Structure formats: structure tokens, C-alpha cells
Amino acid sequence: MINLIKGQKLFSVTHTHTTAAKAEQAAPGAGKRILITDIIVSSDKAGSIVTVKEDSGGGSEATLFQLQIGANHLPIPLNSPIVATANLKVAVEIDGTSICKANLVGIVV
């Protein structure tokens, strides 16, 4: 169970697609940041790679996490959250052959 402090909010974003799934959490606003606590991905592609990016598609895109999972379903609970830069969106991306799914869970503080 997560105990939230006033002003914090939980989020969970999911996207499913055939060849590339991208679940994106919008920028939280000035002075707020995103903490990613869990990543859940699945793919049917043998060489599938999961990537978490900050400011995905923006001018200061950066890779925060990357892991090759292959054809698999993988929940990735993080012992320490991935902390994004204040006021930047984050996204988890996974590739597939005919089906893939990306889910990102965390807290906005």
C-alpha cells in the first residue's frame, strides 16, 4: 500500500498496438515530477526491447531505462523509483511483431 502525501497522485497509463506500444504520462506541471514505480510490458517479438524515455518526442528526450525482454510478459517492480526531471512527460515503449502492450505506473509529486 502506498501512503500519499497531500497533492500527490497515482497514475497508470496503458497502450496496446501491433508493432509498437507507447504508454505516455503527460507532464505534471511546473515544479512537479513523475516517479515511476512499476513497468509492465508484453511482446510477441523475440528481440523486443522496453525503453522508458523522459520528454519522449520533445526537445530534450533522454532514455531513463532500457531492457531487452524478448517474446515475454514482464512485470518490472522497481525497488527505487525512476525519477523524471520536473515538468517533463515520460513514456514506456515496447516493440512487437503482431501484438505488444506497455503499462507505466507511478506517482506525481
Whether the pLDDT of residue 5 is over 90: the answer is no
Contacts of 83 (CB under 8 A, 6+ apart): 33, 34, 35, 36
Per cent of the chain over pLDDT 90 is 84
Query: Model pTM?
Result: 0.89
Which among 102, 10, 98, 18 has a CA at the least distance from the CA of 53?
A: 102
CATH topology of domain 10-108: Jelly Rolls (2.60.120)
Q: pLDDT grade, residue 8 (50/70/90)?
A: confident
Q: What is the pLDDT of residues 33-85, one digit of tens each?
A: 999 999 999 999 999 999 999 987 778 899 999 999 999 999 999 999 999 99
The HSE-up count of residue 25 (CA atoms within 13 Å, CB side) is 30
